[in-house]
Chains A and B, each alone.
Chain A
């Protein structure tokens, strides 16, 4: 469970460009929830993810995970139980290392990076199997450098790698936005499968309203640092794209774009 309590976050504090992003913002995400977050640019979606992951600090307020205060925990330590996939497919993999080397690293995230062999030979069949489940033909390219793969292949690998060790939370930051529609579809199906198989509590920021409606069991629309739509369960199932679009247009006119 993720609890965000009374968060305040300003950008450029003390200058003429001061911008208040979150003012007394609170949000609770229960175990097993798959939350789709939509909203216009600058509404605070990605900042919300950055606060949860620890990429940016909060000005005040607390963030709790399973009741434990992690407000001051550094980003890298939170990665032990949070998996994150970025919009840029290049962010989740090492381009100059092979698929095998990349997966080997992701596989020992919860162990020590010591002087034992970087790749455990006995794990290779398991890696091959994971890759073949993607259906992208990567299982025969274990020794290929990841930099030579397409954006979609890299993103699939990044997604796979983010959840190789037991994690509790999956953070998806517009992870299909840089992909073509067909590949995006493949990645979304894969996401859904991983979330279900591993019972991950998931937050997915997306600009694709259809994905937001189709996937997940809770939908949040953000605007100027507030949740203006928050539907879960049955209410979420009944929501249609048009409903969200209508609200979207309303706030867009209000802002003037």
Chain B
């Protein structure tokens, strides 16, 4: 029971990142490594504002804004300074390490005494069987809100343009819009989600650690690929729903690997090997290359 609850909690937290990476990787085809920096950025901001006595729900929004700002920086580096996509992300990610330390004050900030979004749960009158899942449920509700807002955004004019930018850049130019600006908007939303995940993560773990971001991109990307491949034939399920499910499936796979006798210190190894397996099995990259040639 404890393991299932743990998988759900972690899976749902990383679902925010999956939603963001869905925008950058799936829609814009932009391998954005800045999430490795914006995920802990959300944590650092949360540590700072919670220590200052800010409402934990406001902390979520402030984190999202901080992440969006960092995403904009990546976008500006790529679009205005014409740095390659992968490098733009790496530059932001590296810089954010120091920025995060500045914001949080130190490399490890315990938040045990702080009021978090989970603080009120313990006192809620719920049946005993449900209580281990209350944390997951709280995160689930926030994920759902995020998902519905993203779905709604995708149906606006601005959202249409974002999808068009990933589908056919030439058309964006034909529509008298700067495709660079559209990319910046996409990166900004995606990193907002990554930072939001960081905020929820730190509130749940009740600690901020500056190294928590390592491998974020890999986990998010794996979730997106699992989700979109697994539910490819499932009819009318939205991609945003698929990637959330993908994130939970991925965390479950990692948990199983650890339960099978791997040490907790092998986590990142498992994470990346599992990602490699998923990548090869789905053959996503090959198909993508072929599709480009056909166009």
Note whether A and B form a binding pair. yes
| Interface residue ranges, A against B (CB under 8 Å) | 74-77, 79-80, 83-84, 86, 88, 90-97, 101, 104-106, 108-110, 112-119, 162
> B156 to chain A: which residues have CB within 8 Å?
114-118
Contact partner, B163, options A84, A96, A106, A162, Cβ 8 Å? A96
Of all chain A residues, which has the CB nearest B179?
Answer: A76
Judging by beta carbons under 8 Å apart, are A96 and B170 in contact?
no
User: Shortest Cβ distance from A86 into chain B, in angstroms?
Assistant: 7
Residues in B neighbouring A74, C-beta threshold 8 A: 178
B157 touches A162 (CB 8 A): no
Q: Is B160 an interface residue (CB 8 A)?
A: yes
Q: Are A76 and B177 in contact (CB under 8 A)?
A: yes
Q: Is the interface of B mostly helix, strand, loop or mixed?
A: helix
B 147-189 binary contact with A (CB < 8 Å = 1; else 0): 0000001011111110110011011111111110000000000
Complex alpha-carbon distance, A75 and B178, angstroms: 9
Contact A113 to B168, CB < 8 A, known contacts A80-B176, A90-B295: no
Closest partner residue, chain A, to B170 (CB atom): A91
Residue ID in chain A nearest B173 by CB atoms: A76
Question: Contact between A114 and B176 (Cβ–Cβ < 8 Å)?
Answer: no
The 21 sampled A-B contact pairs (Cβ below 8 Å) are A76-B173, A76-B176, A76-B178, A90-B168, A92-B171, A94-B167, A95-B167, A97-B160, A97-B164, A101-B160, A104-B157, A105-B160, A105-B161, A105-B171, A106-B175, A113-B158, A113-B160, A118-B155, A118-B156, A118-B159, A119-B155
Contact in complex: A79, B164 (CB < 8 Å): no
In the bound complex, CA of A75 to CA of B158 (Å): 20
Known A91-B171, A92-B171, A115-B156; judge A77-B176 contact (CB<8 A): yes
Return the 10 tightest CB-CB contacts between A and B, nearest first: A79-B176, A94-B167, A118-B160, A113-B157, A80-B176, A115-B156, A76-B173, A113-B161, A94-B168, A91-B170
In the complex, what's the smallest C-beta–C-beta distance from A54 to chain B, in angstroms?
A: 9
Give chain A residues whose Cβ lies under 8 Å from the Cβ of B174.
Answer: 79, 83-84, 92, 162
Give CA–CA (A239, B295) in the complex, Å: 38
**Cβ distance A91 to chain B, nearest Cβ, rounded Å:** 5
Q: How far is the CB of A89 from chain B (nearest CB, A)?
A: 11
